[in-house]
């Protein structure tokens, strides 16, 4: 059972977490104050000071809170640093298990008492074994925090790797897509049709969708973080580079700085050409935005906030437009813009390296999945019996 902290200690910790209010989710700050230790908070503040990305730090804080709660309930002791190999193996066993064996042996997997207590704290929502990606991410967060404390853990040990591999196989859980359906060009057209008006919110959403898709399928965090200072006008380019008489199109470059797969030092940028540039400039002009966040909240009266949209808001905007377009919003998420861009590039025969220049995928294996899917659907191998 977790040790109850004095109210003044919780209050003090909550106040320290307030210093990270731009990073940590407001609705979880009080909960994290009861779960994290003083050393945990100090580590998070140090990482924030070192310039760690907001989304990465938010994930670390959330994972750390879960690990602290799980360890206290599963072992009766606080999370040790560094974690012994046995505790890492216990974590895997509690979160990745065989549903068939669980039906025969209730002691298999996470103990019922631990499971119920975690659910009571709204920390556990999965009905069956965890998604392997979630377990791997939490182990990675655990490893990162261990290293930042100047300690070495057993995260690279052969026994943990073997246990994780076998547990993933036993859990028999299919890999879940971040967006069940991709926002390909046909879907994007439907979304743009329902924000074709001249209301302020329509101008914003039209610019947001076109910019996010055409710039390589930007992640929702990158869309929310986009600032006017990151935009740079470029010389017009031809609609058909091979035809000098084709009409000129407006061109703009977007500096992305730190992303999920890059750092500020990489100075990565992508290019916008044509309609997305016009939509983006139209929004900025009407909104009177000359500096700061590009995409901002618009209230029901059309008033524009000074603060940037949150990544979650970007997701909600996409779902709202899906609903208005007659699409099932549960089948789409903001990540569908990213998968949709790559899928559309594959369908149009654009070479993978060229698409990756715009999407900034670092992993050829990851990016090639969209191309492999397109090739299977267009190839003859699946058409032997039709």
Is 177 part of any domain? Answer: no
Is 178 part of any domain? Answer: no
**Average pLDDT score over residue span 44-73:** 83
**Dihedral sign computed on CA atoms, order 313, 258, 304, 250:** negative
pLDDT for the residue numbered 142: 93
Do 234 and 196 lie in a common domain?
A: yes
pLDDT above 90 coverage of the chain, percent? 48
Give residue 306's domain range.
185-378
Distances (CA, A) of 65 to 186, 228, 246: 42, 35, 57
The residue with greater pLDDT, 170 or 263, is 170
Do 166 and 66 lie in a common domain?
A: yes
Token pair, residue 182, equals 């991709």
**Average pLDDT score over residue span 269-298:** 95
pLDDT for the residue numbered 138: 92
Do 243 and 196 lie in a common domain?
A: yes
Residue 8: pLDDT band with limits 50, 70, 90:
low
Say which DSSP state 351 is in: -
Do 206 and 167 lie in a common domain?
A: no
Do 302 and 365 lie in a common domain?
A: yes
What does the pLDDT look like over 303-328, one tens digit per residue? 999 989 988 899 999 999 999 999 99
Do 144 and 198 lie in a common domain?
A: no
> Which 3 state secondary structure label does DSSP give 83?
coil
What does the pLDDT look like over 128-152, one tens digit per residue? 888 888 888 899 999 989 988 888 8
pLDDT for the residue numbered 196: 93
Residue ending a domain, choose from 171, 205, 229: 171
Residue 81: pLDDT band with limits 50, 70, 90:
very high
**Structural domain count of the chain:** 2
pLDDT for the residue numbered 2: 45
Q: How far apart are CA 129 and CA 124, in angstroms?
A: 11
Do 206 and 255 lie in a common domain?
A: yes
pTM exceeds 0.85 for this model: no
φ/ψ of residue 206, rounded to 5: -65, -45
> Which 3 state secondary structure label does DSSP give 381?
helix
Strands (E), the chain: 231-238, 248-255, 269-273, 296-298, 304-308
Is 180 part of any domain? Answer: no
Give, for 286, the enclosing helix (H) or strand (E): helix 275-287
Is 156 part of any domain? Answer: yes
pLDDT for the residue numbered 173: 56
Do 157 and 217 lie in a common domain?
A: no
pLDDT for the residue numbered 384: 74
Is 316 part of any domain? Answer: yes
pLDDT for the residue numbered 175: 53
pLDDT for the residue numbered 37: 80
Around 232, how many Cα atoms within 13 Å sit in the side-chain half-sphere? 9
CATH of the domain at 338: 1.10.443.10
Is 245 part of any domain? Answer: yes
Residue ending a domain, choose from 117, 141, 171: 171
Q: Taking phi first (over 0 means left), then psi (-120 to 50 degrees means alpha), and beta for anything else, what does residue 180 get?
A: alpha
Do 131 and 230 lie in a common domain?
A: no
Is 114 part of any domain? Answer: yes
Q: Mean pLDDT for the chain?
A: 84
Is 64 part of any domain? Answer: yes
Distances (CA, A) of 108 to 97, 165, 211, 343: 7, 17, 48, 41
C-alpha torsion 124→129→134→138, nearest 10: 70
Do 221 and 348 lie in a common domain?
A: yes
Do 246 and 353 lie in a common domain?
A: yes
Contact residues for 142 (Cβ-Cβ < 8 A; gap 6+): 63, 67, 83, 88, 153, 155
């Amino acid at each position: 059972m977790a040790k109850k902290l004095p109210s003044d200690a919780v209050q003090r910790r909550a106040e320290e977490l307030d210093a990270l209010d731009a990073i940590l989710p407001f609705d979880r700050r009080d909960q994290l104050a009861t779960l994290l230790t003083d050393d945990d908070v100090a580590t998070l503040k140090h990482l924030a000071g070192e310039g760690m990305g907001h989304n990465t730090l938010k994930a670390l804080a959330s994972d750390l809170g879960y690990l602290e709660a799980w360890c206290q309930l599963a072992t009766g002791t606080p999370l040790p640093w560094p974690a012994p190999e046995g505790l890492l193996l216990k974590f895997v066993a509690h979160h990745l298990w065989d549903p068939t064996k669980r039906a025969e042996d209730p002691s298999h997997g996470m103990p019922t008492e631990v499971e119920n207590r975690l659910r009571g704290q709204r920390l556990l929502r999965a009905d069956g074994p965890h998604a392997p990606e979630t377990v791997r991410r939490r182990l990675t967060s655990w490893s990162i925090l261990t290293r930042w404390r100047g300690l070495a853990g057993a995260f690279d040990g052969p026994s943990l790797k073997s246990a994780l591999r076998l547990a993933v196989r036993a859990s028999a859980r299919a890999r879940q897509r971040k967006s069940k359906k991709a926002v390909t060009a046909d879907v994007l057209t439907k979304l743009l049709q329902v924000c074709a008006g001249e209301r302020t919110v329509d101008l914003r959403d039209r610019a947001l969708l076109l910019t996010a898709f055409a710039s390589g399928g930007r992640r929702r965090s990158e869309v929310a973080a986009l600032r006017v200072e990151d935009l740079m006008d470029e010389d017009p380019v031809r609609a058909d580079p091979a035809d000098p008489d084709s009409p000129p199109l407006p061109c703009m470059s977007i500096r992305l700085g730190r992303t999920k797969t890059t750092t500020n030092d990489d100075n990565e940028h992508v290019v916008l050409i044509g309609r997305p540039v016009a939509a983006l400039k139209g929004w900025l002009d009407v909104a009177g935005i000359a500096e700061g966040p590009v995409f901002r909240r618009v209230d029901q009266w059309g008033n524009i906030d000074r603060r940037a949209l949150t990544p979650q808001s970007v997701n909600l905007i996409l779902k709202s437009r899906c609903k208005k377009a007659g699409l099932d919003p549960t089948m789409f998420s903001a990540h569908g813009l990213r998968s949709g861009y790559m899928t559309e590039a594959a369908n149009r025969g654009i070479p993978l390296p060229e698409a990756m220049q715009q999407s900034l995928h670092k992993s050829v294996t990851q990016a090639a999945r969209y191309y492999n899917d397109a090739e299977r659907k267009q190839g003859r191998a699946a058409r032997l019996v039709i």
